[in-house]
Amino acid sequence: MVRLWIYCGGSATQIILKHILPFFILLLLGCTLSIKNAPEKFDIWIKNGTVIDGKGGPAVKAEVFIKGDLIHFVGKLNRPFVSRDTLDAKGKIVSPGFIDSHSHGDPFKSPKFINFTSMGVTTIALGQDGSSVSSSNFEQWLTAVDTLSLGPNIAPFIGHGTVRKQSGIGYKIGPTKNEIEIMGNLLSDGMVAGAFGMTTGLEYTPGRYANQYELDELAKVVGKYDGLIMSHMRTENDLTMESDLAELFSQGDYANIQISHMKVVHGKGIKRAEEILALLDQKRAESSFNVSADMYPYLASYTTIGILFPKYALAPNDYEKVQDNRREDLLEFVKEKVNLRNGPEATLFGTSPYKGKTLKQVATEIGIPFEELLVDHIGPTGASAAYFTMDHDLQFRFLKDPYVMVSSDGSPTMYHPRGYGAFAKVIEQFVVKDSFLSLEEAIRKMTSLPAKMMGIKDRGVLRTGYKADVLIFNLKKVKANATFDSPHELASGFEYVIINGKMKKGYGQVLLRDK
């Protein structure tokens, strides 16, 4: 510190004021100016890239500056700066990281979730189809997961089926008002802890035993916290699609709603797709809540073989007793169900010992009718499979709709290419090869749209102050390498996947809904 002593009176004071004081003033001013002109420091500078911000607007040439876990600036910075890392994105696309609104997996078994990050997914939503960690263990689970070296961020949901089991209601049909209130309190606990909403699996047990009153009462709880209901609807079949939607729309009077992995089994054609989309538009116009849907870009679903069996053969019923007492009924039911779903050649097993073979192939090898294989050798819990039951024109008309986002419905272990290729396939096939979607719209469907509908307020857009989940990729090199024959091949073409401002793997976080 410089101290300047001034003695009053005489020529000495005049000399000091005239000659020495101005020198110190200039010195201090120079120090101030040098501090002001010091270069700004960044962790990552992405230069020369074509930026697509995720909102659907046109691509622009811009630079992206990242400081810590935040996007600090997007554009051209006209002041001095230095950066720890510089990424040259010349000839490449810079976009927000993709958000998968419907995913599966266990973070304790595969915390890196490399199948997702390899196709550009930086956030996944877990707790789908009515199944999740129980709300009583939810905060403990959140804490434990956050200690893992996560690949993507995780946005958790509470499962309706899980709440049913946790409450002690289980498979009961028509629970009392008090019992539903217990479920509502458990769901509320999960929402208070930060869950983004509730998922339902109404084609599965115990979700299939819920009635409209129960679902509406739980929707009121979700709506209270501005959460989202993601629904695997009751049948997903063409003949019952209107009633499936009506059941979900009733919940949409109280909360935001989303159709999970939207499909129409047995449905055909663009006209049918537009009829269904018109129903969503109508509900959207009537409701103060959001109405959306997600879908994966494949024409085969994947789930338990139990969807081929009648209700009376499923839990809590004793399958062995049903098999003994109603075998002929079972045989007739599953035979008709499989044939309605494009026959035994359209069911591809994804679990041992039949993995990679169709129902027709296995039945032929064993030498028995396929319905006997299902009823006598496998049963409703004995396998999972892919089902080739969807119509090309109908499904991909859905993908055009502005309120339909991309999801994978996949996992690290599922025997289906969607868990490894869904997001890459949208770019490779529907943007580059077929020009079915513009790149800007495809990215919107994979970034800002799911962020908005799920209630993630600081991701999904390349904007100052948002979290730095960023992708850099060569549009023509993005490739979904997974196939139905080899479903666990990683996607390629995403050169950099930055999550929370980090290029190294293992910096994902558990995300919580804003309280």
Q: What is the pLDDT of residues 160-203, one digit of tens each?
A: 999 999 999 999 999 999 999 999 999 999 999 999 999 999 99
Task: Judge contact between 61 and 92, C-beta under 8 A.
Answer: no
What confidence score (pLDDT) does residue 515 get? Answer: 67
CA 337 to chain centroid? 31
> Pick the residue with more confidence: 504 or 319?
319
Q: Structure tokens of 223?
A: 């709506």
Average pLDDT over residues 351-374: 97
If phi > 0 it is left, if psi is from -120 to 50 it is alpha, else beta; for residue 106 that is: beta
Task: Judge contact between 251 and 287, C-beta under 8 A.
Answer: no
Task: Judge contact between 99 and 475, C-beta under 8 A.
Answer: no
Non-local CB neighbours of 300 within 8 Å, separated by 6+ positions: 348, 386, 387, 388, 389, 390, 416, 484
**Quick one: pLDDT band at residue 97, thresholds 50, 70, 90?**
very high
**Quick one: pLDDT band at residue 505, thresholds 50, 70, 90?**
confident
pLDDT above 80 for 88: yes
CA atoms within 13 A on the CB side of 181: 3
Non-local CB neighbours of 242 within 8 Å, separated by 6+ positions: 279
User: What percentage of the chain exceeds 70 in pLDDT?
Assistant: 93
List phi, psi (to 5°) of 268: -135, 140
List phi, psi (to 5°) of 44: -140, 135
pLDDT above 50 for 337: yes
CA-based R_g, the chain, Å: 28
CA atoms within 13 A on the CB side of 119: 34
Task: Judge contact between 358 and 344, C-beta under 8 A.
Answer: yes
Q: Can you tell me the distance from the alpha carbon of 129 to that of 131, in angstroms, rounded to the nearest whole number?
A: 6
What confidence score (pLDDT) does residue 4 get? Answer: 34
What confidence score (pLDDT) does residue 36 get? Answer: 58
Average pLDDT over residues 39-61: 96
Please write the tens of the pLDDT for every residue from 398-428. 999 999 999 999 999 999 999 999 999 999 9
Which alpha helices (H) appear in 147-268, and where do they start and end?
160-167, 177-193, 212-224, 241-251
C-alpha angle 12-13-18 in degrees, rounded to nearest 5: 100
Q: Is the dihedral of CA 282, 426, 396, 416 positive or negative?
A: negative
Q: Is 476 helix (H, G, I), strand (E, B) or coil?
A: helix
Q: What is the pTM of this model?
A: 0.91
Q: Structure tokens of 251?
A: 């919940």
Q: Nearest Cα to 93, choosing from 471, 378, 430, 387?
A: 471
Please write the tens of the pLDDT for every residue from 98-129. 999 999 999 999 999 999 999 999 999 999 99
Q: Is 173 helix (H, G, I), strand (E, B) or coil?
A: coil
**Quick one: pLDDT band at residue 29, thresholds 50, 70, 90?**
very low
- Return the bridge partners of 12, or none: none
**Quick one: pLDDT band at residue 50, thresholds 50, 70, 90?**
very high
pLDDT above 80 for 380: yes
Please write the tens of the pLDDT for every residue from 274-321. 999 999 999 999 999 999 999 999 999 999 999 999 999 999 999 999
**Quick one: pLDDT band at residue 19, thresholds 50, 70, 90?**
low
**Quick one: pLDDT band at residue 514, thresholds 50, 70, 90?**
confident
What confidence score (pLDDT) does residue 23 get? Answer: 53
Q: Nearest Cα to 394, choosing from 231, 265, 258?
A: 265
Q: Can you tell me the distance from the alpha carbon of 473 to that of 60, in angstroms, rounded to the nearest whole number?
A: 15
pLDDT above 80 for 11: no
> Pick the residue with more confidence: 486 or 1?
486
Number of H-type helices and E-type strands within the chain:
17, 19
Task: Judge contact between 403 and 293, C-beta under 8 A.
Answer: yes
Instruction: Quickly count: other Cβ atoms within 10 Å of residue 329's Cβ.
Output: 14
What confidence score (pLDDT) does residue 28 get? Answer: 46
Task: Judge contact between 295 and 262, C-beta under 8 A.
Answer: yes
What confidence score (pLDDT) does residue 68 get? Answer: 96
- The overall average pLDDT reported for the chain is 93
**Quick one: pLDDT band at residue 17, thresholds 50, 70, 90?**
very low
Q: Can you tell me the distance from the alpha carbon of 452 to that of 496, in angstroms, rounded to the nearest whole number?
A: 24
pLDDT above 70 for 25: no
Q: Can you tell me the distance from the alpha carbon of 416 to that of 350, in angstroms, rounded to the nearest whole number?
A: 8
